[in-house]
Amino acid sequence: MKEVLKTNGLKIGYKGKALFPAIDVTLFEGEHVALIGANGSGKTTLFKTLTGNLKPIEGNVILCGKPLDSYSPHERAKLFSLVLTEKPDDLFLKVFDIVAAGRYPHSGLMAKLKDEDYAMIKSKLEVVGVNHLIDRDFVSLSDGEKQKVMIAKALVQDTPIIYMDEPTAFLDYPSKVELMQLIARLAKEENKTILYSSHDLELLMKHAATMWVVAKGKPLVAGAPDDLKHDIEMYLNIDKP
């Protein structure tokens, strides 16, 4: 398996205070990993560090064979894409406009779309199952449809890694299951490395292939859900009275 991301002795946190012991983990091509932890456990801080928005206290992140901090912002935009909880709320944006924005790192100074860009946009909307919505106003979509559109945008950005922040938030249960299945399919069929955070423990135990579990002051533990049951129970309850 091809190594896409690796951390070496990575300590994360703020003002020189590490949230937990050094992290040594690896993400491989075509792998999907769920990040879980209690609120305030450090999930967001880890995401910010892995995307270069927060400097590590110690150690480093190796992305596609080079230190993360050696890449320019434009170079990073070709290596990882983000699917965030917040969604665009502009009343005039169409689904096409949202997804087309993912091509900007590849479209040059004039940001002009080429025939292959249009083809990719239509193709990735079809991959996630919302190609019929291409001309709809984005704000008119359901939460589940909006999330699929945002994933299509990440796909047309054509990066080896996709980070997703709480992708199942605000979705009904059937939509959550569908999205988890879509993540697994994209990792396998599109050969994407996907790291996503979630609070939906029941769903993760059924659908996640690999989990990273974090808690303040504790080492990150990684493995298959069934192998981490004890750690998950302990870590998710560590801050409860």
Q: Is the pLDDT of residue 241 over 60?
A: no
Q: Are residues 49 and 167 in the same domain?
A: yes
Tell me which residue of 25, 36, 21, 33 sits closest to 3, measured CA to CA: 25
* Helix residue spans in 4-109 (DSSP H): 43-50, 73-76, 95-100
Q: What is the mean pLDDT of residues 121-149?
A: 96
Task: For residue 23, give the DSSP letter.
Answer: B
Spatial distance between the Cα atoms of 52 and 235, rounded to a whole number of angstroms = 26
What CATH number corresponds to the domain at position 240?
3.40.50.300
0.85 surpassed by pTM: yes
Percentage of the chain exceeding pLDDT 70: 97
Q: Are residues 136 and 176 in the same domain?
A: no
Residue-number span of the structural domain to which 119 is assigned:
87-158
Q: Are residues 168 and 72 in the same domain?
A: yes
Q: Are residues 168 and 112 in the same domain?
A: no
Q: Compute the chain's Rg from CA coordinates.
A: 18
Q: Are residues 145 and 184 in the same domain?
A: no
Which of 123, 139, 158 is the C-terminal boundary of a domain? 158
* Beta-carbon contacts of residue 40 (< 8 Å; ≥ 6 apart): 216, 239
Spatial distance between the Cα atoms of 20 and 18, rounded to a whole number of angstroms = 6
Lowest mean pLDDT, pick from 23-27, 79-83, 228-232: 228-232
**Number of structural domains found in the chain:** 2
Q: Are residues 119 and 238 in the same domain?
A: no
Spatial distance between the Cα atoms of 117 and 158, rounded to a whole number of angstroms = 11
| E strand map for the chain | 3-11, 13-14, 17-18, 26-28, 32-37, 58-63, 66-67, 80-83, 161-164, 193-197, 210-214, 221-223
Spatial distance between the Cα atoms of 169 and 180, rounded to a whole number of angstroms = 12
Spatial distance between the Cα atoms of 19 and 63, rounded to a whole number of angstroms = 22
Task: For residue 138, give the DSSP letter.
Answer: G
Q: Are residues 150 and 175 in the same domain?
A: no
Q: Are residues 141 and 109 in the same domain?
A: yes
Which of 131, 158, 185 is the C-terminal boundary of a domain? 158
Q: What is the pLDDT of residue 197?
A: 95
Q: Are residues 238 and 191 in the same domain?
A: yes
Q: Are residues 164 and 237 in the same domain?
A: yes
Q: What is the mean pLDDT of residues 171-197?
A: 96
Assign residue 107 a region: left if phi > 0, alpha if psi is -120 to 50, beta otherwise? alpha
Which of 142, 158, 174 is the C-terminal boundary of a domain? 158
Spatial distance between the Cα atoms of 123 and 128, rounded to a whole number of angstroms = 9
Distance (Å) of CA 32 to CA 26, 73, 87, 197, 223? 12, 24, 23, 11, 12
Q: What is the mean pLDDT of residues 156-166?
A: 97
Q: Tokens 């859900």 label which residue?
A: 225
Q: What is the mean pLDDT of residues 46-72?
A: 96
Q: Are residues 5 and 21 in the same domain?
A: yes
Tell me which residue of 157, 238, 239, 150 sits closest to 196, measured CA to CA: 150
Q: What is the mean pLDDT of residues 78-84?
A: 95
Q: Are residues 125 and 237 in the same domain?
A: no
Q: What is the mean pLDDT of residues 60-83?
A: 96
